[in-house]
Amino acid sequence: MHFIVTGGAGFIGSHVTEQLLSEDHYVTVVDNLTTGNLNNLPEHPRLKFLEKDILACQPEDFSKPIDGIAHLAATPSVTESWLQPLAAHHNNLSATIAVIELCQALEIPRLVFTSSAAVYGNPVQLPITETHPTSPISPYGLQKLVSEQYASLFAQQFGFSMVALRLFNVFGPRQAPNSQYSGVISIFVNAMRQGLPITIYGDGTQTRDFVYVKNVANAFAKALITSLTSGSCIVANVGTGKSISLVELVDILKTCFPQWQSELKFAPARPGDIKDSQADISNASTHLDFTSQWSVESGLQYLIESLDPVKG
């Protein structure tokens, strides 16, 4: 089959691309390389790369037939969405509408949209099912929620099928640790391998459902190929179904970095930080045959093995 992956040179998109290639599919990656990097992609005879913003793409840029599009291109940052709301709106919501137009023009039967646990806002019950109230507490969460609604509306009207994957806390190789708002695992792993201190914001009892990126890539591949009637829409959480606290995370990381002797600091909780998060993944299991194959521990092991040795 032939799939388009938008944002395919990014952290999660490059793993989705690899997964699809490993399943013998043809992949066209579209990426403007703002946050993506060509080094994230393999050279592969079944892989085509188009350096372009998805908002600038025309149907003529692609060769038909296309069996599905996985839309991962976005500004995946809550902080950015507060600082530059219009730009984030453009890259997160308008870009999704551009993808919907491509689905129509190119008669693409399946759209898999990258949504986020951010659509739920502050959880009022755990684990979080897809019927949990949606009440975003950031422009980013709102943009993801409205994108889901656009995709669902157009899928029903024009007869393509749509799967929205609400990702929980994804981690793994190629996740950039370059700001204090990067994923906490990328920050802690980066610091610990260099023997640097780490900081927990709050008391460390906050919990998250950390999901290894290969689990997520699997969910995308299943969402692209699973059999669905035209016009149908599925919304599915993607996590492990289990959560751990930050203190527990640090304990696991200490076993991965036994030589780490630096300081564990505590600082005040970040404003707007949610306390607990844990996905109910029964929808993904029922509709997409999804199972979380990699645990946090095994994912961390793969992540650490994938890193280049620290220089110096």
Considering only residues 247-306, where is the footprint of ligand UD1 by CB under 6 A? 270, 273-274, 277
Closest separation in Å from C-beta 273 to ligand UD1: 5
**Torsion 19-21-23-25 (CA) sign:** positive
CB 221 within 8 A of CB 260: no
> Please, which residue, 244 or 274, has the CB nearer to ligand UD1?
274
Any contact of residue 199 with ligand UD1 (CB under 6 A)? yes
Closest separation in Å from C-beta 253 to ligand UD1: 12
Any contact of residue 200 with ligand UD1 (CB under 6 A)? yes
Quote the CA–CA distance of 118 and 170 in Å, as a whole number.
13
15 φ/ψ angles, rounded to the nearest 5 degrees: -70, -35
Any contact of residue 166 with ligand UD1 (CB under 6 A)? no
Any idea which residue has 């751990």 for tokens?
244
Any contact of residue 108 with ligand UD1 (CB under 6 A)? no
Quote the CA–CA distance of 210 and 299 in Å, as a whole number.
10
Number of neighbours of residue 45 by Cβ within 10 angstroms: 7
> Please, which residue, 144 or 222, has the CB nearer to ligand UD1?
144
Number of neighbours of residue 147 by Cβ within 10 angstroms: 26
From 1, 25, 12, 6, select the one nearest 168 (Cα to Cα): 12
Q: Is 201 a catalytic residue?
A: no
Selected catalytic residue, list 120, 140, 150, 212: 140
Choose, by CB under 6 A, the member of 27, 118, 151, 223 that binds ligand UD1.
118
3-state secondary structure 143-169: HHHHHHHHHHHHHHHHCCEEEEEEECE
Q: Name the packing angle between helices 139-158 and 95-105 (round to 10°).
A: 20
Considering only residues 176-195, where is the footprint of ligand UD1 by CB under 6 A? 181, 183-184, 187
Choose, by CB under 6 A, the member of 201, 282, 285, 291 that binds ligand UD1.
201
Residue 200 half-sphere exposure toward CB, CA atoms < 13 A = 17
Closest separation in Å from C-beta 33 to ligand UD1: 21
Radius of gyration of the chain (CA): 19
**Torsion 230-160-118-237 (CA) sign:** positive
Question: Which residue's CB atom is positioned nearest to ligand UD1?
Answer: 118
20 φ/ψ angles, rounded to the nearest 5 degrees: -65, -40
> Please, which residue, 161 or 186, has the CB nearer to ligand UD1?
186
Quote the CA–CA distance of 243 and 211 in Å, as a whole number.
9
Choose, by CB under 6 A, the member of 27, 106, 246, 281 that binds ligand UD1.
246
> Please, which residue, 68 or 76, has the CB nearer to ligand UD1?
76
Closest separation in Å from C-beta 169 to ligand UD1: 5
> Please, which residue, 204 or 231, has the CB nearer to ligand UD1?
204
> Please, which residue, 22 or 262, has the CB nearer to ligand UD1?
262
Choose, by CB under 6 A, the member of 152, 169, 237, 283 that binds ligand UD1.
169
What are the residue numbers of the active site? Answer: 140
Binding site for ligand UD1 (CB under 6 A): 78, 116-118, 140-141, 169-170, 181, 183-184, 187, 199-201, 206, 208, 246, 270, 273-274, 277
